[in-house]
Amino acid sequence: MLTPTHREALANLEYGIAAAKGLTLLIGEAGTGKTTLLRRVLALRMSTAGSQCVYLNNPALSRGEFYEFLTAQFGLTPDAAGSKARFLEALELDLRQRQIAGMTPVLVIDEAQSLPDELLEEVRLLANIETDTAKLLPLVLAGQPELAVRLNQAGLRQLKQRVTLRCEIAPLTLAETAAYIAGRIRLAGGDAPSLMSRDAVIRVFEYSAGVPRLISVLCDNALMTAFAAGQRPIDADMIRAVARDFDLSPMPGGGRGSPGFRTVGPATQAIGWRATVSKLPWLRIRGAFRHQEQLS
């Protein structure tokens, strides 16, 4: 399930890459689906003729290792990694040749909030590679909100000035949380109202703060507990117990897009959330939540 904010972020990412806009920033809390979106964008790009996607999800690299990685990924001669000057010269030549051939490469760096300052400076240099009319290497930096905070530091303001698009993924609203849970259960062949009470959905939203990864953790473990106990549907007390096991506290105020938990009633009623009796394949249903952060 892609929420409106996920769809907007996906559209911006696709546009930023296809139009070679330069540096695109993707910001979101851990577990909100950043990596899922990046993989979807990369899959779309890889299906386009002439595209090359370089994906880095290990920010714990030295400057030398960073250049070695890019040298290998872009197919440059090994000696290009020997110095910054040689690397930048070789990469620019390669990118110009790709542009002439109608090819559009892209460099995506995930978990960018953990990049050391020296590598963020190297990213700035990569963002400088351009012709008079276009950026030669579209870049995507994806990270948690700490990344945006770091870019406000004096030493990184030049990099921030090169950001041409910024996308932010917000946690799910109450209605989106209910729809996410129902959708995952439905894909596994189950009936959501018979598996989880309306109050249980409220508690999932309360303890997860609308973060898909935490929603999946709570539902997965609640389903296993309910299966072992022979209980159906899952109730609010069971969600509270699972939340305690994971040391999760309820969020204050109801979260994004919700003035309070009272609003969950119409949202869940809209998808027919009432306890009914049916035979359910519990373990298969539980598997619907094993792939955290899945927003398809």
Q: Which tens digit of pLDDT belongs to each residue from 161-200?
A: 999 999 999 999 999 999 999 988 888 888 888 889 999 9
* Mean of all residue pLDDT scores within the chain: 85
User: With contact defined as beta carbons under 8 Å apart, do 201 and 273 qualify?
Assistant: yes
pLDDT of residue 288: 62
**Range 4-169: architecture per CATH:** 3-Layer(aba) Sandwich (3.40)
Q: Is the pTM of this model over 0.85?
A: no
pLDDT at position 162 is 95
pLDDT in tens, 216-261: 999 999 999 998 898 889 999 999 999 999 999 997 654 443 333 3
pLDDT reported for residue 232:
87
pLDDT at 69: 96
Q: Where in the chain is the domain with CATH 3.40.50.300?
A: 4-169
Structure token pair of residue 198: 């309306």
The whole-number pLDDT of residue 238 equals: 96
Give pLDDT < 70 ranges for the chain: 1, 49-50, 252-288, 290-296
Three-state DSSP string of the chain: CCCHHHHHHHHHHHHHHHCCCCEEEEEECCCCCHHHHHHHHHHHHHCCCCEEEEEECCCCCCHHHHHHHHHHHCCCCHHHHHCHHHHHHHHHHHHHHHHHCCCEEEEEECCHHHCCHHHHHHHHHHHCCECCCCECCCEEEEECHHHHHHCCCHHHHHHHCCEEEEEEECCCCHHHHHHHHHHHHHHCCCCHHHHECHHHHHHHHHHHCCCHHHHHHHHHHHHHHHHHHCCCCECHHHHHHHHHHCCCCCCCCCCCCCCCHHHHHHHHHHCCCCCCCCCCCHHHHHHCCCCCCCCC
Q: Residue 47: its pLDDT value, please? A: 79
